[in-house]
Chain A
Amino acid sequence: LNLYDCSKISDGASSLIIASQEGLKKCGIDRSVAAEVIGLGEAEEDITAPPADPTALRTSAFAASKALEQAGITKEQVGTLELHDCFTITALLALEALGYAKKGEAAQYILEGNTAPYGILPTNLSGGLGGFGHPTGATGVRQLVDLLHQLTGKAAHTISLKHPFGLMLSMGGNDKTVTALVITKG
């Protein structure tokens, strides 16, 4: 890797609320400025074991498939994606783990513009970990804040999504502690 493949050290904080329908009402929040979380996938891998296949993120794949299954949507219905791209290679591996590119073809998928803002799968519109920054404990919350803002039109650069679903992948360590979430417009 070179320096530009790595997210930088960073300071920062992010926050949000998670609420029931009743909770939104109690807080006086209109559903139009909220997003519904419809899929949660969590997966853990043994931290003492090296990855079975260093060219794959198996825990991420498992967590994302669980989240999509619970949400009842296919990966093709995802309108925007927030990936945990702590390193550029991680983004390639994640795109393959989620099934958007076949093994060994993620680079081509990116080079064809599929993950660009106006591609078929706008990804990391925030800038991701490489662009927005990666203060480790904040990152997963930041990812959901940015998906929320993208779906509710509050993002600094909101784009028109082809599908009203957002998927995020939050990864800890070397693909060990993974949480995937699917959200849709409230």
Chain B
Amino acid sequence: MKKLRKKIYVAAGYNTVFCGPGRNEFDPSKPLRPFEDYLQETAKGTCAQLQQQAIDEGIIGSFMSGRFLKQANLPGFLPFIVPELHNKPCTAVEGACGTGGRAIAMAMRSVLSDLSDVVFVVGFEMQNVVKSVYGSDILAGAAYYSKERKFGDAFFFPGIFAKRAGAYFDAYGEPATRQGMAKWYEQAIQNARKNPKAQEYQNTTKDLFGLAMTPPDPEHLFPT
């Protein structure tokens, strides 16, 4: 495979807090922080790292804002959050949970083709605007909805990957695999506790491994 035809850099990264169940400030009984706030915060965080605002192009990634927020035409939000992008090319990208990766790849193509020297890339999603079981139906759009949805579980993608886990258990044994999955969970939370913007930053569970070893209940994803 050929090397990239010229040097490509990534810089000025910024994350907002990833908010939802687990964060102390998350209270679904109160109005959620507006999506515009998230977009403005992250754009400000990136642009503050530039000495000069020399952005040529913008790309925005979101999977299902059309359903979660009933908001489309996302390119129009790029000049709203990065004024430099007024009258410049702006594009929206969608590839389900892989949206962000594809948005970055698209930005790389633009730079590699000499159309732009600097591309601002932003990805976002607002999932807490609906209850999780409804959200799960929305996220099922990442699969072949018209054929797969009615045969799937209420919590669709957990069901999809539970089937993969079941096949893996059958092939390689459940006890050791379950321990590996529990260790992965423990490691994920321990790492998140060191990142103030992580959703699980404030997780105080002592026995993470033991919790993650909880036997699955096929009837209830959420413990009753």
User: Which A residues contact B (CB, under 8 angstroms)?
Assistant: 1-6, 8-24, 26-29, 31, 33-38, 40, 42, 47-48, 51, 54-55, 66, 69-70, 72, 84-93, 103-104, 106-111, 115-117, 123-128, 130-146, 148-149, 154-157, 168, 170-174, 176-181, 183, 186
**Cβ-based interface call for B19 (8 A):** yes
Contact A34 B9 (CB under 8 A): yes
Chain A residues whose CB sits within 8 angstroms of the CB of B98 once the complex forms: 84, 140, 170-173, 176-179
Cβ of B24 under 8 Å from chain A: no
Which residue of B139, B179, B199, B215 is within 8 Å of A131 (Cβ)?
B199
Pairs across A and B, CB under 8 Å, 24 listed: A9-B127, A12-B19, A13-B15, A17-B46, A42-B105, A54-B168, A70-B2, A85-B184, A89-B164, A92-B168, A92-B181, A108-B176, A134-B97, A137-B100, A143-B100, A144-B10, A146-B13, A172-B98, A172-B142, A173-B143, A176-B96, A178-B101, A181-B105, A186-B9
Q: Are A16 and B111 in contact (CB under 8 A)?
A: no
Residue of A nearest to B141 (CB): A173
A37-B9, A127-B198, A136-B99 given; name 20 further pairs at CB < 8 Å: A3-B222, A8-B22, A9-B135, A10-B19, A14-B15, A23-B117, A24-B11, A29-B51, A33-B49, A35-B9, A40-B108, A127-B189, A131-B188, A135-B126, A136-B97, A140-B61, A148-B13, A168-B101, A176-B98, A178-B101
